[in-house]
Structure 1
Amino acid sequence: LPQASLGLGHNGARCCRTPGQVGSGHCCQLWVAYLIVFHVIFVLFVWTYWKSIFTLPLQPDKKFHMSYADKERYENEERPEVQRQILVEIARKLPVYTRTGNGAIRFCDRCQLIKPDRCHHCSVCAMCVLKMDHHCPWVNNCVGFSNYKFFLLFLMYSLLYCMYIAATVFKYVIKYWTDELTNGRSKFHVLFLLFIAVMFFLSLMFLFGYHCWLVSRNRSTLEAFSAPVFQNGPDKNGFNLGFVKNLQQVFGEEKKLWLLPIVSSQGDGHSFPMRTLCDARNPLLANEEQWEDDGLDEESHGKVT
């Protein structure tokens, strides 16, 4: 912190020079409290930043990858409708509920796998990432299921860090402005520190607020721009379970772990509870049953006529 933030008087001398000085005990206690709070926030800020950077994104399990036989059969088939049917057959055994915009199975040509729900391919990381939110240049990592909680906490503690610095420095800016403090050497540093803290605070406030809104709706950044497609079509609230359950999806059920960068998110990143789960059935099987029912209806209708 600048000299002014360390308790300098009008003549640049420290206000806590001797233990016997009037008010020196209160002054020292105040700055000790400032330093303790500062370092607690700083440690949490660095810890969450570290976890956001070095927590590797999770990739889909092997069961979502094509077997050698299926891959060979898929690549040798030139008819798109037959390729689509091959993917349907493979996906019947997998917990997948979301589709592409035209109703096809979500398949990654680069990774050669059936994409789990909320999984997307990151062109920067060159792999499919479970519950991908976005690729963040600030942490040089893909933000997804494995580190989304850490990223949110990083934003929160960054915001708190900037707010704390701005709050503790602001009163000295006022004193410099009113000429109560005349130490010109530290005046520029105090003003610059306040400016940087306020600018970062404003930027982080909007970003953190946006992600809080996403968490409250149980959406990712990608899903906010393009709603996931289910059996009955696109549904931006398909994974919205209600505010409390949405929080638990990211932070877990143990509230004592919510503010710490420790793994506590629910699930395995491959499947997620949904607001409407089509009666807890795989939509592919549901479609097949629907087709069979339609066929029986047409057959019975033909017999009646």
Structure 2
Amino acid sequence: MAWNVFKFCTALRGLGSVMIFIVLGVVGVTYYALVVVNYGPSLFHGDLDSLIALAVLLLFHSLLVMLLWSYFSVLSTDPGGVPLNWKPMVDEEKGDVDPLLGSEHTGVGLGVDQENMVANPASEAVRFCRKCNLFKPPRCHHCSVCGRCILKMDHHCVWVVNCVGAKNYKYFLLFLFYTFLETTLVTLSLLPHFIAFFSDREIPGTPGTIAATFLTFVLNLAFALSVLGFLIMHISLVAANTTTIEAFEKKRTSTWRYDIGRKKNFEQVFGKDKRFWLIPAYSEEDIRQMPELQGLEYPSRPNLDAL
């Protein structure tokens, strides 16, 4: 009997509280080293150091608020599940074809009427999840960790203890963005203190505060470099209107139907209201007028719709 590793994926759910505490722990150590140990006391020197410390602390706290807001938004927001009564709309005249079909469309376990719908040559885009016993909307995939189908699923992220999908992808990207800015700021701010470790001059502070500063610099440098790679990757995915999963699957087709231009691709994730682009929220008008933000409908290139 073949060993099915996916049945153990649900064990990752147990990492939930652990990963949250790890993230908050890194934030706490960073706050202690930067604010309490190094730049907080500099506020009372009354010289240029005070102005530098004030600028660093204001920027640090602003980025920290946005980072935590984005983190808990992606953590607490449902990525989007398939409504129980959702059924695909089939155009019998043009037979809409999804380029990411694979072997997912099947009539096994369906009712008679549903079997006919799936078997209909005009409904090649219809997909059905035998695990959830539900039809799968376009760009929807089953998550073995969550145990359900996720709308426009990108990936399951253990750091945010949640799937990243249609309704929280923007929040995830903002979390990466503010994490990169925050860790870069901390790295640059503590760089002189880190260099001082390898100099001959005496370093002020106790062994504990010195160790905290050294650890904070190393952690933030490592996070800044790793998050930068993820950020660049996801920027390219947004520009092409793909997800992490689709980036591999779309190699089967020469033309990607959902790529409708960089500006519109960006708006499908961040909305059209520029005031909300940098915060983990959408305007009511965007939610009302952009059905793609709900994860069930996506515009595609007209020339491919006619095929």
Tell me if 1:57 matches 2:79: yes
> Can you give the 5+ residue segments of structure 2 that lack an aligned partner in the other structure?
1-32, 89-106
**Matching residue within 262, 269, 284 for 2:295:** 269
- Amino acid of the residue matched to residue 214 of structure 1? L
CA displacement 1:78-126 (0-9 Å, x = unmatched): xxxx97543245986xxxxx74xxxxx3111122222111011112112
Is the contact made by 1:145 and 1:269 (CA closer than 8 Å) also made in structure 2?
yes
**Matching residue within 121, 124, 132 for 2:145:** 124
> Equivalents in 2 of 1:239, 1:167: separation in Å?
40
- Amino acid of the residue matched to residue 53 of structure 2? W
Q: Aligned-pair distance for 1:151?
A: 0.3
- Amino acid of the residue matched to residue 276 of structure 2? L
**Matching residue within 253, 272, 275 for 1:253:** 272
Deviation larger for 257-266 or 177-186: 177-186
% same residue? 33
Task: Summarize the Cα distance change of 1:148–1:236 in structure 2 as closer, same or farther, 3 Å threshold.
Answer: farther
CA displacement 1:202-240 (0-9 Å, x = unmatched): 1111111111110011000110111287xxxx3552211
Task: Summarize the Cα distance change of 1:273–1:170 in structure 2 as closer, same or farther, 3 Å threshold.
Answer: same
Aligned residue pairs total: 247
SS at match of 1:219: coil
- Amino acid of the residue matched to residue 159 of structure 2? W
> Equivalents in 2 of 1:144, 1:7: separation in Å?
39
Tell me if 1:174 matches 2:195: yes
Aligned ranges 1:138-287 → 2 under 5 Å: 138-183=159-204, 185=206, 186-227=209-250, 234-235=253-254, 237-263=256-282, 266=290, 267=292, 268-276=294-302, 278-279=304-305
Task: Summarize the Cα distance change of 1:258–1:73 in structure 2 as closer, same or farther, 3 Å threshold.
Answer: closer
Q: Aligned-pair distance for 1:153?
A: 0.3
Is the contact made by 1:217 and 1:243 (CA closer than 8 Å) also made in structure 2?
yes
With the length of structure 1 as denominator, give the TM-score of the two structures: 0.71
> Equivalents in 1 of 2:40, 2:72: separation in Å?
33
> Equivalents in 1 of 2:44, 2:232: separation in Å?
41
> Equivalents in 2 of 1:155, 1:242: separation in Å?
23
- Amino acid of the residue matched to residue 202 of structure 1? L
> Can you give the 5+ residue segments of structure 1 that lack an aligned partner in the other structure?
9-13, 18-23, 67-71, 93-97, 100-104, 284-305
**Matching residue within 25, 31, 49 for 1:27:** 49
With the length of structure 2 as denominator, give the TM-score of the two structures: 0.70
